[in-house]
Amino acid sequence: MNLFKHLFADDWGVHPDDHKRPAADQAVRTMPVPAKLYLPLQQHLGGAARPIVLVGQKVKKGELIAEAQGMVSAPIHAPTSGTIMAVTEITAPHPSGLSLPAIILEADGADEWCELAGCDDPFALEPAAIGKKVAAAGVVGLGGAAFPSAVKLIGASRAQVTTLVMNGGECEPYLSCDDRLMRDAAAGIVDGIRIMLHATGAKVALVGIEDNKPEAITAMREAAAAFANVQVQPVPARYPMGSEKQLIQVLTGIEVPADGRPADIGVIVHNVGTALAVRAAVREGKPLISRLVTINGACAAQPGNVEVRIGTLAEEVIAFAGGLKGEGIGLARRVMGGPMMGMQIPHWRVPVVKGTSGILALDADEVAEQEPNPCIRCGSCVKACPMGLLPLEMSSRIRNEAFDEAVGLGLKDCIACGCCSFVCPSKIPLVQYFVHAKGEMAAQERTKLRNEATKKLAQQRQDRLAREAREKAEAAAKRKAEREAAAAKAAAEAAQKESVS
């Protein structure tokens, strides 16, 4: 208990207004299937899926339409039955507004499932078999990172982890989809957690839920009461409590090494929504084709949580949820995800993907953009950083392009949570500096590798030309020697004939 008091007393992170209610208290609404679904091939970390359907092809709900590519990837399935209309480019759910490849599916209105292969007793399966079912279902982390879940489950089994940490923190302001899932589907989540325990070989699951979600805590405790290896533990409502390193430290008292992974200390982290998707994949054979999405923000007419098919355009979700107040006149920012780490999008015609936890319509008061002022060296960013870094020092190095010095100060440990920018009284976009620096360093590394590859190819070409020249010279010398030998032999034969005659 003293350890937890010590951890809770650490003044890291920030305490933004959570803005979770009234959305969190509204009953979940289920959106009808839209006329068309737009399914990006890149909905997860890792390699994009590869389409395996043709234009004009009829597909059923749950049918595989794009297969995983590589070790870290996830397949995509048809969210409803219908016809493949195109494999083309659509606007990405990203601030850049750039395009990305996608499959467009026109719904036929039947919403007819393909044949599914479930399992009545998941605990009779081998752990590897559970991993294969989860991989085949295209399940990814539903907390926002969208890392293929099967990769973590299989990796955890190989690493012999002992503790499964379930992230029910949902520390981002405005979002409440995990809260609603825990209130409404606690038994299913706990069943999914037990399946994940079996798949990973972990001995215990610690479910961390922020203490501003009392209804979810009660529901989860009741659902887990019969299982001693599933323990529900409230954690302080503090951003970014949902970051895996912070959640692990609060729940276990163990710190993940700076350059390490949770598996290095025998821990693996999954989201509570992911547990429900794992249960559906293993018990029912259902792929991940829909998710719960929070609609919120001052401009949203009816904030709440909506069950949405993957590939539904954000504008259609907003329209179903009651539209925007005043037809969106006061709209200042569109965000997919949470306001701290979500993506600002250029317009609403972008699709919901597997990692979309929220659609936020924010007004000017919520955005509160200000021009940055010079740093006053107050140290607020240092106090707020959950990783114990020195944001003001790192940013000064980055402005001078001293990236190596910024790395020495811990740049690679930055989780881009935005706490430093949030508390900065000068409104300096600190987290943007860090993201820029990481991107610049990655670009420099790519350039270095490309130059090294070019030099290697140039050297190989020089070596090849030198070898070919040497071989030509050797061949010419050999031919010359053969000619000279033949001439000498002919001369000798001629001389012999003359002497005989």
Q: What is the pLDDT of residue 103?
A: 95
H or E element at residue 50 = strand 50-51
Please write the tens of the pLDDT for every residue from 59-108: 999 999 999 988 888 999 999 999 999 999 888 776 666 788 999 999 99
Residue 300, Cβ density class (10 Å: 0-12 exposed, 13-18 middle, ≥19 buried): buried
Give the pLDDT band (50/70/90) at residue 369.
low
Task: Give the separation between CA 101 and CA 443, rounded to whole angstroms.
Answer: 23
Closest by CA to 237, choosing from 18, 491, 5, is 18
Torsion sign (Cα): 312, 313, 314, 320: negative
Give the range with max mean pLDDT: 311-315, 404-408, 481-485.
311-315
Distances (CA, A) of 317 to 111, 337, 338, 393: 18, 14, 16, 43
Q: What value does the mean pLDDT of the chain take?
A: 88
Distance CA 449, CA 17 (A): 45
pLDDT at 409: 87
pTM of the model: 0.79
Name the pLDDT band for 5 (thresholds 50, 70, 90): very low
- Residue that has been written with the tokens 């409404």 in this structure: 184
Cα angle 242, 246, 248; round to 5: 95
CA dist., res. 280 & res. 240, Å (int): 29
The Cβ-side half-sphere exposure at 481, using a 13 Å CA radius, reads 6
Closest CA to 334 of 325, 345, 323, 350: 345
Beta bridge pairs of residue 104: 38, 86
Residues 6 or more apart in contact with residue 121 via CB below 8 angstroms: none
Contact call for residues 336 and 345 (beta carbons, < 8 A): yes
| Structural domains of the chain, with CATH | 122-285 (3.40.50.11540), 292-367 (3.10.20.600), 373-501 (1.10.1060)
Quote the tokens at residue 412. Answer: 């690679």
**Using one digit for the tens of pLDDT, what is the confidence trace for 425-462?**
888 878 777 877 777 777 777 778 888 888 888 888 89
pLDDT tens, position by position, 11-57: 666 777 889 999 999 999 999 999 999 999 988 878 889 999 999 99
Q: 326-358, pLDDT tens digit by residue?
A: 887 889 989 988 888 888 888 999 999 999 999
Sign of CA dihedral 219, 225, 229, 232: positive
Q: Is the predicted pLDDT of residue 253 greater than 90, yes or no?
A: no
What average pLDDT score do residues 360-383 get? 83
**3-state DSSP call for residue 73?**
strand
The answer to whether residues 352 and 286 touch, using CB atoms and an 8 Å cutoff, is no
Hunting for tokens 């140039």 — which residue is that?
458
Type and span of the H or E element at 36: strand 36-40
Give the sign of the dihedral formed by CA 93, CA 96, CA 99, CA 100: negative
| Mean pLDDT across 453-476 | 89
